[in-house]
Amino acid sequence: MPEADLIILMRHGESEANVNPEKYASVGDPNIQLTKEGVQQAVQATGILRKIIGKRPVFSFSSPYVRTRQTASIVLSELSKSNVKVLYNHEDPRIREREFSGSFQRNAPDRSDEDSYSRFFWRPPGGESCADVYDRISLFIDSLWRVFQCQHDVENGVVLIVSHGLAVRLFAMRWLHWSPETFMLSKNLPNCGFIVLEKQRPMGHGSDYYKLSDDSVRLLGISSVESESHPSTWPLPLHNDSVESRTFCFKNTSGLSCIVRISPLTSHFFCTANSRFGSAKCNLGRS
């Protein structure tokens, strides 16, 4: 399956509520706009992005909140001036900001017990926990894999995701398999700050995987140990003559599925790989 060379996750520019939090009560979180400084931040950030992206095509995703929509629009417009091709541009509500209430935030939530409970699992009344946002980010990533599968130009391209500080960190958590403890140690990006996941091509065995750039690791304030997703490998001794392998493929409502039956000695290893959703499920049993 084709995969992007780079995945860039960007926080929106300075918003009116970053300057005046009362905007959450009067305007509402989805409607908050960029300040003049936020607009300038987006233009300046694009100058740096342009050097990273080069001539690669861009596949863009953004939160539908006004401040992220404005940031993405500025960035894509500036990139286009440099003849960077934007082949895909999509807004997805699953990468919106965390909701602290179901409506206008006229009162700040009481967060006195957040640390003692768990900053990852604590949920404000009527709002979302970080774990709730993690769940919808996971669904977004499932859709992202399907885009990888259908958009063949993504192979040498760049995925640009313009979202919010918390959502960016939760995307990194999901993609890189962080624990809640690692997530809670990570830092929010500054306005129009961004992190870069770079595709790695291992020598020999193993699949391609992604690793955070050194600048991204420093920006998030995490250890380099948590900077990469681990490539998938087959731990079974497939070189052994005693191993028998058979593959059966069939079509169903989910696309093309394949079952790989591997029988080393008395064990049976079953993998179901779904071509549409880019997923695999394996079980090891005894005969």
223 is known to lie in a ligand binding site = no
CATH (residue range 6-226) = 3.40.50.1240
Q: Tell me how far the alpha carbon of residue 59 is from its chain's centroid.
A: 13
Give residue-wise pLDDT tens across range 100-119.
987 888 787 888 999 999 99
Q: What is the mean pLDDT of the chain?
A: 84
Radius of gyration for the alpha carbons in the chain, expressed in angstroms and rounded: 21
12 is known to lie in a ligand binding site = yes
Facing residues of 256 across strands? 251
pLDDT the model gives residue 1: 62
Alpha carbon distance 132, 274 (integer Å): 26
Q: 148: which 2 tokens?
A: 């990888």
Q: Catalytic residue at 97?
A: yes
Model confidence at 224, in pLDDT bands (50, 70, 90)? confident
Q: Is the pTM of this model over 0.85?
A: no
Interior angle at CA 275, CA 133 and CA 253, nearest 5: 90
Give residue-wise pLDDT tens across range 139-161.
999 999 888 888 778 888 999 99
Given the residues 3, 78, 97, 198, select the one marked as catalytic.
Answer: 97
15 is known to lie in a ligand binding site = yes
Task: Kindly report the backbone phi and psi dihedral angles of residue 247, in degrees, each rounded to the nearest multiple of 5, phi listed first.
Answer: -120, 130
221 is known to lie in a ligand binding site = no
Residue 277 has pLDDT above 80, yes or no: no
Q: Where are the alpha helices (DSSP H) in the chain?
A: 16-19, 23-26, 36-53, 66-81, 114-117, 130-150, 165-176, 180-185, 214-220
> For the chain, what are the domain ranges?
6-226, 243-286
Alpha carbon distance 63, 93 (integer Å): 6
Contact yes or no for 65/97 (Cβ under 8 A): yes
Given the residues 12, 78, 198, 226, select the one marked as catalytic.
Answer: 12
Alpha carbon distance 278, 8 (integer Å): 21
Give residue-wise pLDDT tens across range 19-63.
999 999 999 999 999 999 999 999 999 999 999 999 999 999 999
pLDDT the model gives residue 286: 37
Give residue-wise pLDDT tens across range 156-173.
899 999 999 999 999 999
